[in-house]
Amino acid sequence: MEEQLNFLEEIVSNDIKSGKYKSILTRFPPEPNGYLHIGHAKSICLNFGLAKKFGGATNLRFDDTNPVKEDTEYVDSIKNDVKWLGFNWANEYYASDYFEQLYNWACDLIRNGLAYVDDQTQEQIRLNRGTVNRAGIDSPYRDRSVEENLTLFQEMRDGKYPDGSKVLRAKIDMSHPNMLMRDPILYRIIHAHHHRTGDDWCIYPMYDYAHGQSDSIEKITHSICTLEFDVHRPLYDWFIDKLQIFPSKQYEFARLNLTYTVMSKRKLLQLVNDKIVSGWDDPRMPTICGLRRRGYTPESLRYFAEKVGVAKRDNIIDLSLLEWCLREDLNKRSNRYMVVMDPIKLTISNYPEDQKEVFTPNLNPEDLDAGKRDVIFSRQLFIERADFMEEPPKKFFRLKPGGEVRLKYSYIIKCEEVIKDENGNITEIICTYDPESKPGVGEWRSVKGTIHWVSVSHAKEIDVNLYDRLFDKEDMDDLEEGKVYTDYINQNSLVRVKAYAEEALLDDRSQIAVQFERNGYFIKDIESTPEKPVYNKTVGLKSKQ
């Protein structure tokens, strides 16, 4: 069967077949004004994946044209995240490296009568742009001579004018049906320190002017961006046409939206600044560093990007798909351990007090090469409170009075007695065990239920952060009237509990999340220490309804 190509692969494939390009070059162009999120991961997988598939390459380009919001802290985190996702860029570039070239091209536009310096205020420019139904009004400065424009533009660069007093605009058409073509601004004056160029510049190019030309300078063949930029495409092409430079082409795909998630960097920054989360890498954040700390793997994120595919229309993807991709990966690779979260004591009355036994189950039944672990069994155990019911409904196959259950990897036990305190709360369950039911000894006897457990005197206490989705609302782009996104914060998105783990967990050396059997996947937090182990819940074994 021939492989189904998505629409971008189709375009690239045709461009190669037709001989238009021998090899392709894509780019991932983040603005270093925040940390990358899962939406960026989608774009990274798309750009790098496309190039890889067709034997091309991908540049990492920092779109650092706005000095006010940008910082090297973000540059470093972005590089780290792209590498972590498993991609290598051909070149690391910065739009700010092109400032001189962009400036010279702007002078060319002026010389060709295609750009002018405008002294109108921002407000006047906005008003005179007109509306979709009404043509704009030409600026009174629109017909300045080439010489005057060149001089003024040079003086803007030289720092003669204060912020906001002048801009350079393209001279296109003030009644163009596409508002972006109504003499768009190319440069504005900002007297601010830039994280790379320092104080060399006090005029900075606008996104539309810098972005396309940067593509062109790098000879990007396919410049892929999100749908909202489709109205920018005529301007993208206009610059290339007027400057007669390398004809990069822009293509748009639908941005990734996820249920129960906000992704705009502005909102994520606010969550951090308002201390609603502990930082950019809070495990509830949709940032790549947050997902990493939560226990997501690069494999699972790449798999997710592939599953989502590329769409030409905006849509919203179910968070459960992302979680499913993660489980698929972790199930194959995670070591298993027994951990009791909400313990109740269980005593085996016919098991000798000073006796202990060691069981040696596989670390990972899906990967026998992972080896085995030692699990210690003794007379006193913790089991999960929820695994016992005094008055169970039908079909309750866990422990109940008079009932039998298998303790995972070990014996079958029978509940003989329930001990309660004066308030009627269960404090202990007394059981007997069947010595004949030891795995590997004699004939295997089946019972309906199997529960996990830890030995009280061997268990290690750990802290566990139980995370849930950060927002209660499914579609965070569709808020009720008068509400803002922070009104939908899930107040139970983090619950910290104590838990009891089998000893071997603390010796685990795997780099990925482990499975707490019958519960979910959990990863050691970066703040965990041998004295105070802390685990983060990555995802449950089953999807949340």
Count of residues in the chain: 545
Measuring CA to CA, which residue among 340, 369, 324 is closest to residue 510? 369
Q: Does 259 bind ligand ATP (CB under 6 A)?
A: no
- Of 144 and 222, which CB lies nearer to ligand ATP in the complex structure? 222
Rounded Cα distance, 173 and 153, in Å = 21
Segment interacting with ligand ATP (CB under 6 A) among 134-142, 259-267, 370-378, 418-426: 259-267
Q: Which amino acid is at 519?
A: N
Smallest separation, CB 255 to ligand ATP (Å): 4
Minimum CB distance to Mg ion, residue 226 (Å): 9
Do 303 and 325 form a contact (C-beta atoms < 8 A)?
Answer: yes
* Distance between CA atoms of residues 117 and 171, nearest Å: 10
The three-state secondary structure class of 121 is coil
Q: Which amino acid is at 199?
A: D
270 is an interface residue for ligand ATP by CB under 6 A: no
**What is the Cα–Cα distance from 106 to 109, expressed in whole angstroms?**
5
Catalytic residue among 129, 144, 157, 255: 255
Minimum distance from CB of 285 to Mg ion (Å)? 19
Interacting span for ligand ATP (CB under 6 A) from 26-34, 212-220, 293-301, 438-446:
26-34
The residue to which tokens 């400065």 are assigned: 141
64 or 384: whose CB is closer to ligand ATP? 64
Among positions 20-79, residues that touch Mg ion (CB under 5 A) are: 31
Q: Which is nearer to Mg ion, 33 or 120 (CB)?
A: 33
Question: Catalytic: 255?
Answer: yes
| Closer residue to ligand ATP, CB minimum distance, 296 or 522 | 296
CB-wise, 102 or 202, nearer to ligand ATP?
A: 102
- Please name every residue paired with 463 in a beta bridge, in sequence order, or none if there are none: 498, 534
Among 256, 454, 501, 523, binds ligand ATP (CB under 6 A): 256
Chain centroid to Cα 517, Å, comes to 26
Q: Which residue's CB atom is positioned nearest to ligand ATP?
A: 39
Sign of the alpha-carbon dihedral angle for 395, 400, 401, 406 = positive
Closest approach of Cβ 225 to ligand ATP, in Å? 5
Instruction: Select which of 144, 188, 265, 379 is catalytic.
Output: 265
CB of 96 to ligand ATP, least distance (A): 15
Which is closer to Mg ion, CB of 28 or CB of 351? 28
- The SS3 assignment for 227 reads helix
Question: How many angstroms separate the CA atoms of 289 and 287, rounded?
Answer: 5
Based on the residue annotation, tell me whether 31 is a catalytic residue of this protein.
yes
Q: Name the residue nearer to ligand ATP (CB basis): 31 or 468.
A: 31
C-alpha–C-alpha distance, residues 250 and 208, integer Å: 12
Please list every residue from 492 through 511 that binds ligand ATP, using CB under 6 A.
none
Residue 171, both tokens: 């001279």
In order of 256, 412, 512, the CA distances from 529 in angstroms are 36, 36, 17
Q: How far is the CB of 62 from ligand ATP (least distance, A)?
A: 9
**Residue 42 interacts with ligand ATP (CB under 6 A): yes or no:** yes
Residues 205-224 that bind Mg ion (CB under 5 A): none
- Provide the minimum distance between the beta carbon of 201 and Mg ion in the complex, in angstroms, as a whole number: 20
CA distance 326 to 297: 7
Residue 61 is a binding residue for ligand ATP (CB under 6 A): no
Q: Which stretch binds ligand ATP (CB under 6 A): 29-37, 115-123, 319-327, 463-471?
A: 29-37
SS (H, E, C) 262-277: CCCHHHHHHHHHCCCC
Identify which of residues 30 and 295 has a Cβ nearer to ligand ATP in the complex: 30
Q: How far apart are CA 73 and CA 64, in angstroms?
A: 13
Helices 38-53/298-308 angle, 10° precision: 80
In angstroms, the CA 495 to CA 478 distance is 27
Alpha carbons 460 and 379: distance in angstroms, whole number:
17
Site string for ligand ATP, 205-234 (x = CB under 6 A): --------------------xx--------
The reply to whether 327 sits near ligand ATP by the rule CB under 6 A is: no
Per CB under 6 A, does 43 bind ligand ATP? yes
# chain residues binding ligand ATP, by CB under 6 A:
15
Active site residue 328: no
CA distance 471 to 538: 17
Binding flag, residue 255, ligand ATP (CB under 6 A): yes
Question: Helices (DSSP H) in 38-144: which residue ranges?
Answer: 38-53, 72-84, 99-111, 122-128
Residue from 8, 30, 116, 537 that binds ligand ATP (CB under 6 A)? 30
Residues that bind Mg ion (CB under 5 A): 31
Catalytic residues: 31, 255, 265
Residues that bind ligand ATP (CB under 6 A): 29-31, 39-40, 42-43, 63, 225-226, 255-256, 263-265
